């Protein structure tokens, strides 16, 4: 890719038949206070909040060309054969503005062989997998001399050939028959290995090799766009899920890195440092981590006075790939007392686990961070103030779920989405909210009184029935 001025940002998500979401649509980018784009998702338990975070987690695996973990195998909505996920992006690269649409159709391995009753057993479902059945990439681009404002199909894998349309296939891969044969094999392998073919290393390799001597502006636009999405997935999209479904868990400190490699050139990606224990990191990344810890301490001391963290270096160790790595452990420092970070409170570890990502969201436009249960273990007033600061002064994109209602008082109403009890319209924004209304009070009022919104936001519980259920359950208890 040429140049350095670029960003990628999610603009819309559409979900069909994923977990408990029959259909849900969420638009982003409505914050008017700054360049920052913050979206909080609120609703009762089991109403689709974590499903949206998992959809972003799947996107991360797809864009990286990585295998989708088997723990996602049960994400297809009960009674459905497949799930369709639709991601919309706005991007800018080298002065070219893009609108991008990526649609992926996923199906469970059990659904692919529905005639076999043995696949319905719990053992089979536990070890099931997802298969990427179809991918479609559409784009429009506008440069300084104009361009097409209409979305056009770039890649559609729903074909017996490698992909259609043929014109884009020839443009991106060349006319080599060997390329076609090799890519057909790679397409089958990607499907069997539960990973994206569009963003697979095999397809990207052909795109890059075909660039030699090619001066077509259209090729450059499309090739640069795909490469930029891959970089976004590898180094700029972070998903933290408390369910630990193969995403970054809260026991790790996520770190984005980039460095020059003599053999491979510019390297980028992300890694995670264990909060409790020793982690081996690549030698070139160690320097970046040291700088990141220094920058984190600047903010950490303002949030938790008297606390800083440091790295204890246990020396070098050869890694699995044969390269040198450093064995490091994160330490907590209060005054002159230093202890392993793992012995700090869960709340402090939670803040530290997401602090670097919040710093990056504050400072960089092309960053998307999604956090499930952001409020867990964080003092509610502090949570509200941090989100307010990012909303007013930040640059990146932050998506979170929460049960703590304090952010409803500090964020604009357009930055909040509520889940509904209707699985076919799972996500909505509150209507009829005036500028001087307290969104937290407004939400409570709708839960208690109902009727102010087009969709029901809360499936009301009966306290008398709950009390009776407790008494009945207690009849069998012994003390």
Q: Which phi and psi angles does 241 have, rounded to 5°?
A: -125, 125
- Total Cβ atoms within 10 A of residue 216: 11
> Rounded to an integer, what distance in angstroms lies between the CA atom of residue 101 and that of residue 136?
8
Cis peptide bond upstream of 156, omega within 30 = no
> CA geometry: angle at 403 spanning 399 and 406, to 5°?
85
Residue 148 reports pLDDT greater than 70:
no
* 262 or 381, higher pLDDT: 381
* 1 or 367, higher pLDDT: 367
Residue 103 reports pLDDT greater than 90:
yes
DSSP 396: S
> Rounded to an integer, what distance in angstroms lies between the CA atom of residue 257 and that of residue 288?
7
Helical segments of 193-272, H only: 201-210, 217-235
pLDDT tens per residue across span 256-275: 544 444 444 444 456 678 77
- Inter-CA distances, 1 with 5, 49, 94, 103, Å: 11, 36, 9, 24
Least confident segment among 5-19, 56-70, 140-154: 140-154
Helical segments of 394-427, H only: 407-410
Burial of 421 (0-12, 13-18, 19+ CB in 10 A): middle
The share of the chain scoring above pLDDT 70, in percent, equals 85
* 245 or 419, higher pLDDT: 419
pLDDT value for 476: 66
- The sheet with strand 21-27 has its strands ordered as 21-27, 6-18, 82-93, 96-108, 130-142, 152-156
Q: Which domains does the chain have, with CATH numbers?
A: 1-236+364-479 (3.40.50.300), 252-356 (no CATH)
> Rounded to an integer, what distance in angstroms lies between the CA atom of residue 222 and that of residue 168?
9
| CB burial string 279-311: b at 16+ within 10 A, e below | bbbbebbbebbeebbeebbebbeebbeebbbbb
pLDDT value for 146: 62
Q: Average of pLDDT values for 186-206?
A: 93
The share of the chain scoring above pLDDT 90, in percent, equals 38
Residue 241, both tokens: 């899920």
pLDDT tens per residue across span 111-133: 444 434 443 444 344 457 888 99
DSSP line for 164-187: B-HHHHHHHH-S-HHHHHHHHHHH
Burial of 355 (0-12, 13-18, 19+ CB in 10 A): buried
Residue 248 reports pLDDT greater than 80:
no
Q: Which phi and psi angles does 352 have, rounded to 5°?
A: -65, -35
> Rounded to an integer, what distance in angstroms lies between the CA atom of residue 365 and that of residue 7?
7
- Inter-CA distances, 135 with 101, 151, 155, 200, 417, Å: 11, 16, 8, 12, 28
Residue 449 reports pLDDT greater than 80:
no
Residue 369 reports pLDDT greater than 80:
yes
Average pLDDT of the chain to the nearest whole number: 83
- Total Cβ atoms within 10 A of residue 332: 20
Q: Average of pLDDT values for 339-353?
A: 83
Tell me the pLDDT band of 351, cut-offs 50, 70 and 90: confident
């Amino acid at each position: 890719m040429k140049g350095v001025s670029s960003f990628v940002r999610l603009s819309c998500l559409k979900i069909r038949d994923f977990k408990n979401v029959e259909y849900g649509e969420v638009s982003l980018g409505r914050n008017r206070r700054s360049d920052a784009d913050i979206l909080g998702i609120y609703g009762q338990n089991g109403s689709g909040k974590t499903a949206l975070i998992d959809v972003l987690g799947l996107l991360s695996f797809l864009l990286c060309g990585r295998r989708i973990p088997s723990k996602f195998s049960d994400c297809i909505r009960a009674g459905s054969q497949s799930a369709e996920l639709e991601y919309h992006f706005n991007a800018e690269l080298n002065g070219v503005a893009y609108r991008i649409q990526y649609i992926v159709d996923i199906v469970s391995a059990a659904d692919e062989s529905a005639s076999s009753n043995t696949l319905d057993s719990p053992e089979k479902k536990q070890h099931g997998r997802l298969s990427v059945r179809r991918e479609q990439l559409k784009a429009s681009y506008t440069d300084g001399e104009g361009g097409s404002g209409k979305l056009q199909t770039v890649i559609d894998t729903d074909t017996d050939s490698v992909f259609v349309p043929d014109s884009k296939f020839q443009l991106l891969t060349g006319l080599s028959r060997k390329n076609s044969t090799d890519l057909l094999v790679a397409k089958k392998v990607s499907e069997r290995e539960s990973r994206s073919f569009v963003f697979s290393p095999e397809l990207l390799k052909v795109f890059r090799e075909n660039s030699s001597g090619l001066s077509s502006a259209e090729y450059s636009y499309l090739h640069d766009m795909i490469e930029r999405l891959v970089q976004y997935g590898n180094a700029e999209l972070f998903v933290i899920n408390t369910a630990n479904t193969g995403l970054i868990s809260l026991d790790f400190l996520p770190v984005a890195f980039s460095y020059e490699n003599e053999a491979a050139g510019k390297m980028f990606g992300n890694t995670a440092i264990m909060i409790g224990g020793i982690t081996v990191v690549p030698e070139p990344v160690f320097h970046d981590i040291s700088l990141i810890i220094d920058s984190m301490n600047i903010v950490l001391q303002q949030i938790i006075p008297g606390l800083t963290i440091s790295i204890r270096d246990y020396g070098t160790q050869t890694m699995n790939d044969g390269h040198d790595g450093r064995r490091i452990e994160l330490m907590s420092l209060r005054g002159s007392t230093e202890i392993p970070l793992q012995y700090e409170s869960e709340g402090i570890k939670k803040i530290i686990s997401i602090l670097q990502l919040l710093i990056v969201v504050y400072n960089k436009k092309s960053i998307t961070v999604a956090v499930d249960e952001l409020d867990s273990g964080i003092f509610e007033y502090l949570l509200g103030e941090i989100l307010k600061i990012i909303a007013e002064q930040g640059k990146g994109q932050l998506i979170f779920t929460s049960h703590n209602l304090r952010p409803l008082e500090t964020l604009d109403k357009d930055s909040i989405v509520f889940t509904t009890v209707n699985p076919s319209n799972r996500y909505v924004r509150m209507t009829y909210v005036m500028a001087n209304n307290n969104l937290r009070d407004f939400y409570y009022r709708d839960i208690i009184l109902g009727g102010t919104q087009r969709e029901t936001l809360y499936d009301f519980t009966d306290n008398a029935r709950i009390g009776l259920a407790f008494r009945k359950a207690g009849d069998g208890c012994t003390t």
